Structure 1
């Protein structure tokens, strides 16, 4: 009976070890996927900020042109 218990315990330890390895492996794969998604999001955010700065510069230019047109129209009156 003791030999059977030892065999069962060794089998359970082996199964627990294999299960732990699988859980750790898939956890690592999930972490890698999350890291990749985060890197893509960071790249997207940087691109959005750059485009927003470009739009602000264009808007400032349009605003200055509008001021000059308004000044021109007021000088005509």
Structure 2
């Protein structure tokens, strides 16, 4: 009986180890996928911020030109 119990315990420990390893592997894969998605999102956000800065600069330039045109029209009229 003792030998059978030891055999069963060894088998259960081995199965538990393999199961734990498999779970850890898939968690690692999930973490890697999340990290890649976060990196892509971060790049997208940085690009959006850069484009927003460009648009603000263009709007400021158009605003200055409009002020100049208004001043010119006021001086003529």
Shift of 1:63: 0.5
Taking structure 2 as the reference length, the TM-score comes to 0.94
Structure 1 stretches of at least 4 aligned residues deviating more than 4 Å after TM superposition: none
The answer for the alignment partner of 1:41 in structure 2 is 41
Shift of 1:76: 2.4
In structure 2, distance between residues paired with 1:70 and 1:2:
100
Shift of 1:73: 1.8
Aligned CA-pair RMSD: 0.8
Q: Which runs of 5+ in 2 are unaligned?
A: none
In structure 1, distance between residues paired with 2:73 and 2:10:
93
1:5-60 alpha-carbon deviations (Å, 9 max, x no partner): 11110011001000011011001100110110011011101100110110011000
Equivalences for residues 58-77 of structure 1 within 5 A: 58-77=58-77
Taking structure 1 as the reference length, the TM-score comes to 0.94
